Structure 1
Amino acid sequence: MSEPAHESEPVRIPDHDLDDLVATVTELVTESRKQGETLARLIDEQPPQEPVEQADPHHADGTASPSASAGDDEPSAPSKEPSSIFILALGGTAYAEELAALTNWVHHLLLPVYGREIATVRPWCQQWQEHPEAVARLHALWLAWQQLTAVKAGLTGPSTWHRDHLDPTLLQLRAADGPFGACTTSPARPSHRLLAAPEPGGI
């Protein structure tokens, strides 16, 4: 059944709400940068690894080089630091904290400004945090936003973010056959269902 025509109309923001929206965006930019600084500081303040008897003096962090530990009988313990700031590389508390920060950005900046109305050809899911692909794509979009809206990104940073990151992400997420394809297609009928992923092929 086709959706009513009004569902494809763009959302209009009243003029009297624009000042509040600008203030919210400014506040989120500041908060996002503070979170980035906090994350960088936490990474720098990670507790040191167990001391190694022979450390490579050329390593700035003081860890042993592969040649220094090559003769050890016991394998070295894997590092507990994440190898990436991407949310899919995180786990436990780190993942939960990053998802909370991402949710704040999605709900207070992305959706109010770029959400557009839900329609059959443009589904959305209020429980997007349960869709791994959505979490991954939105987190990548948020990371790019933090970098490309900073002063050092230059005057074309925001334009680059829209062209190279926002538009492709929304086209993928909100496509009729995207991750929300089985979820809400009408604001009056909210729904949520995870689509089955292909089974890994055997060797």
Structure 2
Amino acid sequence: MTRTVEPFLGEVTALILRMGGCCEAILAKALRALFERNAELAHEVRHDDLEIDRLDVAIDEAVLRSLALQSPVADDLRRLLAANDIGTDLERVGDLARNIAKSAVRLSERPPVAIPAQLEALAVECQAMLREALDAFVHRDAARARALMAQDDRVDDDQDRVIRLALDEIRVHPDQYQQEVDLILVAKHLERVADHATNIAESVILLVEGRNVKHAEKFARSAGA
């Protein structure tokens, strides 16, 4: 790594760590608002998301300054672009938390329905994946990142299970369809959080090993077809 690029990489890394902490906190707050039917807490999420947006802009600016002033190549360029991708994924996690908070507000305004244990389990699983992705980034741990990527299919299955339960409830209690639709939306948002955690894991592998593993499984299936 060239000495002149190190300050930019250090700045971007520090920003990502701050942003990651904000994302974990805002997601936890949105889910707490959902499970506790706390509209006031849900409204706080919109304000909290502004800080994530500011950090995302700061990461973009730091990367652009490095590109303009240092013209990094090879490993340095790869590290900068991978870090920028992580910032983008974290910003989208913030957006998803805000969407969950919107559902929390709507649910708090309607007659309560039972929240399935499977949705609560999905929330815990997706929060853990985000935390694991950030830990893999902090420790530059490609093996940890690969282990996280293997969890993505299970999250897809768990999301489908929640959706099927909600659809069953709509058939039995059609008057609750609005609430059940919001629970479906929350499940989909959580699955997207897991997708972004997986993207971060892929970026960690690119950072550590210089290997682009995005879509690798899809390409492998296509080659074997």
The alignment's TM-score, normalised by the length of structure 2, stands at 0.27
More helix by share: 2
The alignment's TM-score, normalised by the length of structure 1, stands at 0.30
